[in-house]
Amino acid sequence: MKKSTMAIPIFLLFILSGFMIIQACGQSETKEDETLVWTTGEDNDTSQNNNSEEGDGQSSEEQAEEGNDSQESGSFVLPNIDLRNWKVTLPVGNNGKPIEVEPPEILDYATNETLLPFMYNDSIDGSLVFYTYPGVTTPNSSRSRTELREQMVPGSNSTNWTFAQGGTMKGEMSMEEISKDGDGKYHRTIIMQIHGRLTNEQRDLIGEDDNNAPPVLKIYWQNGIIRVKSKVLKDESTSGTALLYTDAWTDDDGFNFSEEVGFNRFSLEVKASEGRMEVILNKSESIVFSGLSMDKWSVFENYFKAGNYLQTTDEGAFAKVKIYELEVNH
């Protein structure tokens, strides 16, 4: 019985020792497995990073070069002007007629050799500069210009708008440089317009050679002040076909905004609707035109203009007008 009693603990001890050895081996294998799992996870992260680089298809050197390009492209600013619905008239021409550049050619103004002297980017402040001087003029004017003319249908002057249809033009501008007259006073230039136009039927009805009608709105830069002029009837009882003649209309007395803009950047907004026209300077001061003459102006079609229409023929005169933003809506 004693042997038996002693044998049992020894046997149990043997079994327990074997179990402990097996357990220790199992733990070792588990740690190795855990290590493999952790290592595999790290490899997955590396694989994802490699996939990203492969997706870019760029080496680190190429990425560095791209970063430099981005910095270089970020060092200049372009004007916010969509030229797809504008043509430009220049102070130079052929056979006494000014050169006009329409869409789509105007879109390449930055490389167009004809346009470059008169219409170019200032990449520092993000403006489009309009430079002009006394030169070739349009048939109905004695003064020259570098000026945009709205074309609702690109390349065509035939589609225009009425005050009943309405329209809005917004722009941000500044005067960069302008010459002075013999008395030391700055010359003046027209920077925005709403211009009237005869339809082909109206032109033929009154026997005119072209579709020209008066401008109902002229906005001047004049000695650092923004000045506005509109058209009024010489005789408000005028009606019918007689309204179509240019000499039925004359300039009003004009209006000067109180804020002096000088050579600083400023904003202008022009709103046209049936029987009403409004001009707003720097979103703070406005002038509204209404009344019988405005009501009767509805007989005409119209188009917007913006740029630099120099109001002098003095030798050596010039002006540079900057436009940063220009937007038209109908």
- What is the per-residue pLDDT across 79-116, written as a single tens digit (0 to 9) for each? 999 999 999 999 999 999 999 999 999 999 999 999 99
pTM across the whole model: 0.78
Return d(Cα 37, Cα 56) in angstroms, integer: 29
Cross-strand partners of 257: none
pLDDT at 145 over 90: yes
- What is the per-residue pLDDT across 12-61, written as a single tens digit (0 to 9) for each? 444 444 444 444 444 444 433 333 333 333 333 433 333 333 344 444 34
Cross-strand partners of 232: 250
Check residue 35 and give its pLDDT.
Answer: 33
Amino acid at 326: L
For residue 235, give both structure tokens: 């005789």
Q: Nearest to residue 146, comparing CAs of 267, 265, 302, 320?
A: 320
